Amino acid sequence: MKSSTSEYCHQIKEKALQLGFAACGIAKVKSLDTEREHLQKWLTAGMNGTMGYMANHFEKRLDSGKLEQGAKSVISVLFNYYPSQKQVDLTAPVISKYAYGKDYHLTVKEKLNNLLIFIQTHISSCSGRAFVDSAPVLERQWAKAAGLGWTGKNSVLVTRRFGSYVFIGELIINLELTYDPPFTRDHCGTCTRCIDACPTKAIVAPHVVDARKCISYHTIESKDQIPEYIQSKLQNQIFGCDICQDVCPWNQKLNPNQSIDIKPIEGLLDMTKKDWSQLGNVRFLDKFKDSSFERTGYDRIMRNISYLKD
């Protein structure tokens, strides 16, 4: 049985790479008890801000076996989204790199569903479900459990080969497989570049980010007015923030993904502040259909732009 499951894992990982994923690892479904205290403290301190959903389904977040009946394996995949192109105008409103192209939820989930179909067709008629930042799944912890990387001091997953510019997705299936050893080493060492670079001091301790101080949270998630002390530190950013990632040593020599899957939205990287301000709701909806901007919405993007200095 062991040799069979090992062969199954090899086939699954090969297919994942063929589908465009950068890496694939597999972990046994279990309760992530080591994360319980960390998550509870973070929620109790209110560091999730207005993201109340982060407190929902607490036990399911810790045990993916409670999400899928009879689940036995968590297949984690990484998708490299480091872009080959950057914004042209250095004075233009800044956009997080993950939002340059089509909404990653759609891109990654489609690939995961194709991987599930492959497994069901060629390996086992198992049942399973794909997750991409859309359910109570501790995706970074599962990626770590599958041997794909470690948690950086800015709380994002960091990998030796692809840095931290990776999307994470999971397939939770009721098929027993051979499991990868977890990633146990922290390669951040004594480095504190991400902590030091954060303009709002949102990284309040190693591996702890207070969303209430985070530019990404305020420009994307929060529907409230951005506090004045955050406004003064936006550094021209209107959608997300990559500062803590840009300074990371593991992100200095990355190979960009040339795939059409992350092709930038036409004209996006050339847009100036004037272009954004004159966009209008109708053109916004047309230009950013099926993008990450669509979920945040026109009004909030315009709100963010209004805070920028001339």
Angle among Cα 68, 74, 77 to the nearest 5 degrees reads: 125
Centroid of chain to Cα 122: 29
**What CA–CA distances, in Å, run from 267 to 95, 100, 216?**
13, 10, 23
- Dihedral, 209, 211, 216, 219 alpha carbons, nearest 10: -170
Q: Determine whether 133 is an active site residue.
A: yes
H/E element, 142:
helix 139-145
With beta carbons less than 8 A apart as the criterion, state whether 302 and 225 touch: no
Check 33, 63, 103, 133 and give the catalytic one: 133
38 touches 153 (CB < 8 A): no
Q: Are 217 and 155 in contact (CB under 8 A)?
A: no
- Which residue type is seen at 40? Q
Which residues are known to be catalytic? 133
